[in-house]
Amino acid sequence: MNRETRILKIQDIEKTDKPIGKIEIPWKDRLEPMDVYEIPLRFLVYNKYNGRILSRTKSYENQRQLIDAESTEGKELIEKLLWDSKPSKNKETLESLKKLKQEKVGIITKDGIIIDGNRRAMLLNKIDEIDYFKAVILPVEYAGNPIEIEKFETKYQLGEERKLDYNPIEIYLKIQRLYQQLSESNYPNEGDKKKGVRVDKKAIDLIYNWIGNYKNINSANDIEYSLQVMNLMDEYLEYQDYNGIYTALDEREEQFRGLTNWLNTFYGETSAKAFDGYKNSDVDELKSVAFDLIRMKFKNEKFRYLAQGQKQNHFFGTREIWSSFLSNHEKIISSFKEEQIDFNINNLEAHLNSRDTNLKNNIGDLIDENVDIHYQKLRNKQSQDEPVKLLNKAIDSLESININSKNFSKPDSLALTEKLADLVNNTLQKKSPKRLLSHIVKLLEEIDTEKIPEQEKEGAKLLTKTIQSLGYQIHKNL
C-alpha cells in the first residue's frame, strides 16, 4: 500500500469510525487530548529509524542499501531487527498480548508511520486473530514536520513521560541525529574546532530539554559529552575500516567514555597526569592502543591501566613504562597478519565479529600478558620506597619456581638466574661490602663438591684458584 492510499484510509477511519478512547499526548509543548482508534495493521509502516534499532538499521544501510520500509522485504527486515533487539522481552510481551491483547496505545502519523509502538505492532503482526493496532493519530505526516516529530518521539520515549530503556549505543546515535537535524551540521571534532567551527549550544540545550535526565545524562554538558563520545566511536569505526557499521560498537560503551575523558585531558600537552614532556603525538599513540584493546573487548579494569587517574596510577604517567608497554604492544599487533575485510559478503556484521574474535584468539593472551607485566612494573614503581615489600614479592616469586623442571636448565633460564644473582650482589656491594663477603662465604660453604659433574671439575678447580687469589688481594688491601 503506497503512502497516498494509506493517508486516505486513515482519514476515512478518523471520519467514520467511533474512537475507542481518548488519551493526552504531549504535542507542541502542551498536553493535547487525542482520540484512540483501531487502525488495521496493514495500513501501517514501521519507523526504520526507531530508537530501539537505530544502530542496526544505520549499519545495514551503510553496508548495503536504503531500507524501503514500505516493501515486503523492508518490513520483514525491520521485524527481524526489532525481535532480535530484545528476544526474551519480546517473547514475554507476545504472550501477554495473546492473553490480554494490546494494553498500551501506540502513536502514528497521518500517513501511517508508527512513531511509538513499533515493537508492539511487530508482535501483533505475529498473532493471527489480531489485525488492528490501537493508536492515536498525530495531526502531521511523517515528512511534513520532521523536527517536531523528532522532538515528540524524544520527549515521549526518553523524557519524563516514558523513560524508554534504549540500548547503550542507540542513545548516542539518537543524540547525534538530533544535533545534525537541529544544527544542520555534524558536531565538530577537535580539528574542526581549531578551524573555527563552532558548537551549536542552542541545539545542545534543546536536546537536553527534550531528553531530560536519562542514565548518564544530567545536564546539557552531558549531551555535548555524548556527542564527543559518538565522534570518537565514528573515528574508531573508520580506524578499523568499519565505517558506519554501528553494530561493531556493541558492549564497548564504557571504554569509549573513558577514552574520551583521557583525550580531553591529555590533548594540548599541558596535563600533569601524563609523563613529563609528552606530546600530542604520544596521545595519538595512546588512542591507537586503546582502539586495539576496545576491539578485543578488553576488561574495563585492565583497560583503565592505560591512562586512568593520577599519573602514578597508570602507564601513560611514566615515560619508561609507557615506552616499554607501547613497544611491546606494537610488536604483538604487527606479528599478526589479518585477513582483508570482504565487504561483499552477505552477513558483514558476522564477518566483522569473526575477524575481531580471530584477532583476540590469536594475540589476545599476549596483549593481556603485556598489560599485566607493565602493571606489575607500575606497582613496583609505586612501592620503590618500600624495599621490604618488593623484596618479599621477589622472594615469593623465586620460591615458586620449580628448579627441577627441565625448562629451568635451559640456557635462557640459567642466564636470567645469573643476571638476578648479579643484581643482588651489586646491591649488596653498594650498600654493605661486608654483608656481600659474608654472603659469598655462605655460598662457598654450601657447595657440595660431590655433586659437581665430572666434566665441570677442572673448570671448578680453576675458579677456586681465582677465588683464592681474589680473597688474598682483598685481605691485603684491607
**Sheet (strand 114-116) strand order:** 21-27, 30-40, 132-137, 106-108, 114-116
The reported pLDDT for the residue numbered 161 is 46
DSSP 442: H
Confidence band, pLDDT 50/70/90 cuts, at residue 33: very high
> How far, in Å, CA of 118 to CA of 106, rounded?
8
What are 114's strand-pairing partners? 108
> CA angle, 347 as apex, 342 and 348 as ends, to 5°?
45
Among the ranges 158-162, 243-247, 358-362, 425-429, which has the highest mean pLDDT value? 358-362
All cell numbers assigned to 449: 663438591
pLDDT tens per residue, range 4-29: 999 999 999 999 999 999 999 988 88
3-class state of residue 411 by DSSP: helix
* Lowest-confidence region among 131-145, 305-319, 386-400: 386-400
Mean pLDDT of 283-290: 98
Contacts of 348-353 with C-beta under 8 Å, sequence gap 24+, read 348/63, 348/245, 349/59, 349/245, 349/247, 349/248, 352/242, 352/245, 352/247, 352/248, 353/248
pLDDT tens per residue, range 354-390: 999 999 999 999 999 999 999 999 998 887 756 666 6
Q: By the 8 A CB rule, do 305 and 315 touch? A: yes
The reported pLDDT for the residue numbered 104 is 92
Helix or strand (DSSP H, E) at 199: none
Placement of cell 595519538 in the chain = 284
Using alpha carbons, select from 147, 6, 163 the residue that is nearest to residue 70: 6
Cα separations in angstroms, 206 against 151, 155, 223, 275, 290: 9, 11, 10, 40, 33
pLDDT tens per residue, range 155-211: 887 765 455 567 789 899 999 999 999 999 999 988 888 899 999 999 999 999 998
pLDDT tens per residue, range 288-343: 999 999 999 999 999 999 999 999 999 999 999 999 999 999 999 999 998 888 88
3-class state of residue 40 by DSSP: strand
Kindly report the number of other CB atoms within 10 A of residue 176's CB atom. 21
DSSP output for 228-280: HHHHHHHHHHHHTT-TT-GGGGTT-HHHHHHHHHHHHHHTTS--TTS-TT--H
pLDDT tens per residue, range 432-445: 777 778 878 888 88
> How far, in Å, CA of 198 to CA of 192, rounded?
8
- As a whole number, the mean pLDDT across the chain is 89
* Lowest-confidence region among 79-93, 114-128, 345-359, 374-388: 374-388
Q: In percent, how much of the chain has pLDDT > 90?
A: 60
Placement of cell 659433574 in the chain = 453
